[in-house]
Structure 1
C-alpha cells in the first residue's frame, strides 16, 4: 500500500523569518552567521528572506543555535507550549538579576494593565 503525498508543499518562509529574527536579536550579522556555518551569506539570505529550504544539517544547526521552536511552523493548528519568541525571552531573562527582573515584571504588568478594557 503506497500512499505517497507527492503534492506536499511546505512554506519555509515563516521559519526562515524566525531564524532571521533570532539571529538579529543576538546582534549577529548574516555575514557572521555565514562564517560560523561555513556557507555563503547569499545562501543564508535566501533561507531567511526567500523561503529556500536549507539542508537538514544546516536546518538543525540553525534552529539549535538560535533556539527556534519548529512545532509552531510545522504544526500550526496544534497548540504550542512555548513559541520561539517566548523561548528567546526566557533565555534573555535568565541573564538578569533580581533587580533587573523586577523592572521587567513592572513593565509587563503595565502592558497587561494597558490592554485591559476600561470599565
Structure 2
C-alpha cells in the first residue's frame, strides 16, 4: 500500500539558519565541509536552495552550531531555549569568572532598560 505524502517540510529556513550560524562562527563552506566531511557544494544546496539534508547531516549541523531544531519543527511553540540563547551559553562556557561578572552586570543593566526598572 502506497502512502500519500500530505506535507513536505520546507528546509529553506533551516538552510538560512545554518548560513547565518556558519558566517557568525567565521567558517567558510570549505572549512565547514572539511570539519564535517561534507562537500561544500552540498552545503550551498542546503543553505541557498533548502535541500533536504539527511538526518545525520541535520544532526551534525545543529549540534556543531548549537541550533535548536524546535524553531523549525514546532514554529508555533515557544522553544525553551532559542538558538541564540544556546549559542550564547556555548560562548559563556569559554569565558573566565571575571568575564562572566562583566557579562552579568551588563545583562542586569540591559534588563533594567528593557523593563523600565531604572
CA deviations on 1:49-74 (whole Å, 9 max, x unpaired) are 22111122211221122221101210
Whole-angstrom CA distance in 2 between matches of 1:30 and 1:46: 11
Q: Which shifted more, 107-116 or 29-38?
A: 107-116
Partner residue in 2 for 1:108: 107
Structure showing greater relative contact order (alpha-carbon pairs closer than 8 Å, 6 or more residues apart): 1
Partner residue in 2 for 1:73: 72
Whole-angstrom CA distance in 1 between matches of 2:27 and 2:105: 29
Q: CA RMSD in A?
A: 2.3
Partner residue in 1 for 2:82: 83
Q: CA deviation at 1:117?
A: 4.7
Partner residue in 2 for 1:61: 60
Equivalenced residues, count = 117
Q: SS where residue 9 of structure 2 aligns? A: coil
Partner residue in 1 for 2:48: 49
Q: Structure 1: 5+ residue runs without aligned partners?
A: none
TM-score under structure 2 length normalisation: 0.82
Whole-angstrom CA distance in 2 between matches of 1:91 and 1:39: 24
* Cα distance, 1:67–1:5 mapped onto 2, change above 3 Å: farther
Partner residue in 1 for 2:10: 11
Q: CA deviation at 1:104?
A: 1.1
Partner residue in 2 for 1:92: 91
Is 1:30 the counterpart of 2:32 in the alignment? Answer: no
